[in-house]
């Protein structure tokens, strides 16, 4: 099976580069397409004209339509699937998922596609494995980590920053977003290698894990 993964940012890509080999079989292959933020689902389900901005949701109707046509050209002997991974932020996950499915249903040639939400943010998948965090950051503040409720809407990256960074999220928020993004990439690179994909406590991660295993037929 060929997995084509769409993810909203660089930290998500770095997480997936380390995660997917832990989940997929040796026969599976994958390609990750990272974007420069999630953006918004466009009105009328028509992608904006400026594809160069590489904003995931803004371009998703065009992307899924194009992937559907490409995958259809592979023929019946080459199995391919597209997985869209995006943060739910403060949105209702059920309603948000319905909006994403509506984009897929609007494609003239529908790819074999699934949507996986990180609730509230991608850092929720890291916080689903406290042992991995403590192995990557032995001095992490456990009293802060223990306050976390899995997949809660609580300011996920900020909580992780308060637990791991000596200056905390308040100092990070004063920096340009590029520096916040760099810190998120650091967390993804350091923590993900230690994640135990079979023991993660994040419900949204477990949905992703189960979906990948089911598709891969492992």
| pLDDT tens per residue, range 42-98 | 988 877 667 778 999 999 999 999 999 999 998 888 899 999 999 999 999 999 999
| pLDDT given for residue 49 in this prediction | 60
218: pLDDT strictly greater than 80: no
Domain match, 159 and 104 both: no
- Residues 160 and 12: their CA atoms lie apart, in Å, by 15
Alpha-carbon torsion (130, 193, 12, 158), positive or negative: positive
Domain match, 106 and 130 both: no
Residues 6+ apart with CB under 8 A from 27: 1
175: pLDDT strictly greater than 80: yes
| Single pTM value for the model | 0.94
Domain match, 189 and 205 both: no
Domain match, 97 and 14 both: yes
Structurally, how many domains does the chain consist of? 2
**How much of the chain, in percent, has pLDDT values that exceed 70?**
99
Domain match, 170 and 205 both: no
Domain match, 35 and 91 both: yes
> Containing domain of residue 190, as a range?
123-194
Domain match, 133 and 78 both: no
Domain match, 209 and 182 both: no
In this structure, what CATH number is given to the domain that contains residue 28? 3.40.50
Q: Using CA atoms in the order 137, 141, 142, 146, what is the torsion angle rounded to 10 degrees? A: -110
Domain match, 56 and 101 both: yes
Domain match, 96 and 138 both: no
Here the tokens at position 32 are: 């990750």
Domain match, 95 and 145 both: no
The length of the chain, given as a count of residues:
218
215: pLDDT strictly greater than 70: yes
Q: Which residue reads 């509506």 in tokens?
A: 102
The arithmetic mean of pLDDT across residues 11-30, rounded, is 96
Q: Which residue reads 């990070």 in tokens?
A: 172
Domain match, 148 and 114 both: no
């Amino acid at each position: 099976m060929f997995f084509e993964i769409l993810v909203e940012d660089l930290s998500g890509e770095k997480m997936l580069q380390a995660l997917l080999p832990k989940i997929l079989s040796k026969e599976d292959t994958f390609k990750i397409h990272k974007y420069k933020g999630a953006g918004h689902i466009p009105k009328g389900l028509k992608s904006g004209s400026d594809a160069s901005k590489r904003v995931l949701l803004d371009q998703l109707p065009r992307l899924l339509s194009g992937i559907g046509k490409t995958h259809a050209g592979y023929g019946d002997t080459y199995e391919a699937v597209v997985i869209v991974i995006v943060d739910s932020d403060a949105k209702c996950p059920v309603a948000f998922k319905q909006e994403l499915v509506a984009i897929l249903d609007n494609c003239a040639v529908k790819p074999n596609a699934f949507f996986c939400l990180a609730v509230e943010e991608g850092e929720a998948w890291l916080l689903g494995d406290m042992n991995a965090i403590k192995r990557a950051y032995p001095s992490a503040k456990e009293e802060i980590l223990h306050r976390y409720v899995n997949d809660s809407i609580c300011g996920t990256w900020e909580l992780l920053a308060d637990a791991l960074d000596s200056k905390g999220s308040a100092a990070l928020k004063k920096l340009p977003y590029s520096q916040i993004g760099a810190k998120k990439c650091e967390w993804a690179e350091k923590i993900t290698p230690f994640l135990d994909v079979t023991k993660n406590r994040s419900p949204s991660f477990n949905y992703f894990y189960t979906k990948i295993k089911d598709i891969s037929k492992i």
